[in-house]
Amino acid sequence: MKIVRVIGTATATAKLTGLTGQKLMIVDVQDAKGKVLIPACVAVDSVGAGRGDLCLMVEGSAARMASDGLPIDAALIAILDQVSV
């Protein structure tokens, strides 16, 4: 999984019907000290995350499991309280 910071949101009118009602979060993949490694991925929120939150993002087929079968490849599965290195 990746450590990500939520930096914004995206909205879409034309989309697959399965995406209706899902929150699309713009996230930066970060290292443990906050340096951005990969900017601006999009993940579906599964845990009530908001802008500025540090989260755990899962990718690939596990994102479907985390979202009850949506056709997505990235989901937020935890809000991180602490990262200690």
**Could you list the residues that contact its own copies (CB under 8 A)?**
1-3, 7-16, 19, 24, 26, 30-32, 37-43, 46-49, 56, 58-66, 71-75, 77-85
In the complex, what is the shortest distance from the CB of residue 21 to its own copies, in angstroms, rounded to a whole number? 13
Q: Which tokens hold the place of 69? A: 């079968």
In the complex, what is the shortest distance from the CB of residue 68 to its own copies, in angstroms, rounded to a whole number? 10
CB 54 within 8 A of CB 5: yes
Q: Say which residues have a Cβ less than 8 Å from residue 49's Cβ, sequence separation at least 6.
A: 6, 25, 55, 76, 79
